[in-house]
Chains A and B, each alone.
Chain A
Amino acid sequence: TQLLEQSPQFLSIQEGENLTVYCNSSSVFSSLQWYRQEPGEGPVLLVTVVTGGEVKKLKRLTFQFGDARKDSSLHITAAQPGDTGLYLCAGDSSNDYKLSFGAGTTVTVRA
């Protein structure tokens, strides 16, 4: 199993501030997914990045895949209370059907 480390573990910010969540590994992934999970619900897929150096934007969320495809970041601009949740990254090795999940970053945006 390939280990994905997420940092920070917890993040609490004021509405309107920016934040960045990191996902790092020593392993190379063919693709990487980001999910957001709200309490009592399942994770919801936000984005998939597949190319080294790729940047994807989803409204105020910007996702970047590292050049070496070992790490990724999620940046939220002008965070809103609706962005509150557990953010999970998951790496995909092209050889099988399994995802390796990070432990997650709990983001709280205060109004």
Chain B
Amino acid sequence: ETGVTQTPRHLVMGMTNKKSLKCEQHLGHNAMYWYKQSAKKPLELMFVYSLEERVENNSVPSRFSPECPNSSHLFLHLHTLQPEDSALYLCASSQVHDISVGNEQFFGPGTRLTVL
């Protein structure tokens, strides 16, 4: 595997379900991100982990719970979601503090989440 991978690619869940999204980066980066992308809206940053420590929680509801067990893996645990949470959830990674390339972020293909 190369780059950033995400599983599953598609997920349909009821409002009472519990599910998890998984992200893995094979780039040796030290930061990982969760974004939400809804139709006709800019990318919304949800969480940032730098060196496995959460450094950003962008006012995200507690029904979204991130986990970063190591620098290569990132999870997003979902429970009691609402229909308005339906969106494309994107994971990204970058090598922060490398000023030669700026904060170039490399994205996974996303998980298309539908909440019924």
Contacts and interface: CB of A to CB of B under 8 A. Distances in A.
Interface of A: 30-33, 35, 40-45, 48, 50, 88, 90, 92, 94, 97-99, 101-104
Contacts, number: 63
A42 B107 contact: yes
B35 to A, nearest CB: 8
B45 A98 contact: yes
A44 B105 CA distance: 9
B102 A97 contact: no
Interface of B: 4, 6, 31, 40-43, 45, 48, 50, 55-56, 88, 90, 92, 94, 96, 99, 101-110, 112
A43 B92 CA distance: 9
B110 A40 contact: yes
Contacts of B101: 31, 48
A42 B104 contact: no
A41 B6 CA distance: 11
A41 B94 contact: no
Contacts of A40: 88, 109-110, 112
A44 B104 CA distance: 10
B99 A97 contact: no
